[in-house]
Amino acid sequence: MSTPYMLLTGASRGIGHATVKLFLEKGWRILTVSRHPFSEECRWPAARESHIQADLEDVDGIEALAEVVRQKLPEGKLAALVNNAGISPKGPGGSRLGILDTDADTWRHILNVNLVSTALLARALSPELFAAKGAIVNVTSIVGSRVHPFAGVAYAASKAALASLTREMAHEFGPYGVRANAIAPGEISTDILSPGTDQLVEALVPMKRLGTTTEVAKTIYFLCSEESSYINGAEIHINGGQHV
């Protein structure tokens, strides 16, 4: 069997970096996308030539990005597309951006990066996903289903819409043998966390600890592997029970 290829957005740190490491250990070839050039913090032997620099806010550039990806797939097959890049902007002093604080530009920026680019990237790479009977994993969030003290309104709405987009993908791509699922992390130990998370974890997370990026990566791997061959349209909570 030929080596499977995965495209992962937002690989330079956090959940994306842990996911790259795990898929490499499992023998996959990885292509990565983020705004900055190849990250020294997320280094592996082929990291430099596997990285594509692109800003997912530029939704008009997605077709060109997909073309670069296509040229890097030797057999025209993409076995996994992991839409992990996400942004959660804050107001002054790290404050929560509620409806009254969120202007049209902020809405556009967050929705383009967290939602619209995901739909367009899957659309542009659908021939390669269909050819591989591949898997899509969208990284949503616990805040897509409840109000959160730190996450802003546009971020929350983008993640709720991404869960909906996942169901649409499962429905539309299922007949082509492509599965689409989401993972919804809770409080995971990364740079995205706000001050005050420790108290929140103590109060709201039954397991009384943050999750690790490795725990998230393992679930992403499961959803891209044969072990999950009949799971389609699911959203898996990875939050130590915070959702209960």
Ligand X SMILES: NC(=O)c1ccc[n+]([C@@H]2O[C@H](COP(=O)([O-])OP(=O)(O)OC[C@H]3O[C@@H](n4cnc5c(N)ncnc54)[C@H](OP(=O)(O)O)[C@@H]3O)[C@@H](O)[C@H]2O)c1
Catalytic residues: 155
To ligand X, the closest distance from the beta carbon of 176 in angstroms equals 25
Contact segment (CB under 6 A) with ligand X among 49-57, 119-127, 129-137, 229-237 equals 49-57
Phi first, then psi, for residue 226 (nearest 5°) are -60, -25
What is the residue whose two structure tokens read 């393992």? Answer: 218
Residues 54-73 that bind ligand X (CB under 6 A): 55-57
* Among the listed residues 65, 80, 136, 192, the single contact to ligand X using CB under 6 A: 192
User: In terms of C-beta density within 10 A (0-12 exposed, 13-18 middle, 19 or more buried), how is residue 78 classed?
Assistant: buried
Burial 82-91 (b: 16+ CB within 10 A, else e): bbbbbbbebe
Query: Does 190 sit near ligand X (CB under 6 A)?
Result: yes
Kindly give the residue spans of alpha helices, DSSP state H, lying in the chain.
14-25, 47-50, 62-71, 104-111, 117-124, 126-132, 153-173, 197-204, 213-224
Q: Which residues in the 125-184 window bind ligand X by CB under 6 A?
A: 139, 141
Give the nearer residue to ligand X in terms of CB position, either 12 or 232: 12
b/e map 156-177, b = 16+ CB within 10 Å: bbbbbbbbebbbebbeebeeee
The stretch among 10-18, 61-69, 95-103, 167-175 that binds ligand X (CB under 6 A) is: 10-18
Q: Tokens 């995205």 identify what position?
A: 192
Among 113, 119, 154, 170, binds ligand X (CB under 6 A): 113
Among 1, 27, 36, 92, binds ligand X (CB under 6 A): 36
Q: How far is the CB of 6 from ligand X (least distance, A)?
A: 15
**Closer CB to ligand X, 42 or 132, in the complex:** 42
**Residues of this chain that bind ligand X (CB under 6 A):** 9-16, 33-36, 55-57, 84-88, 113, 139, 141, 185, 187-188, 190-193
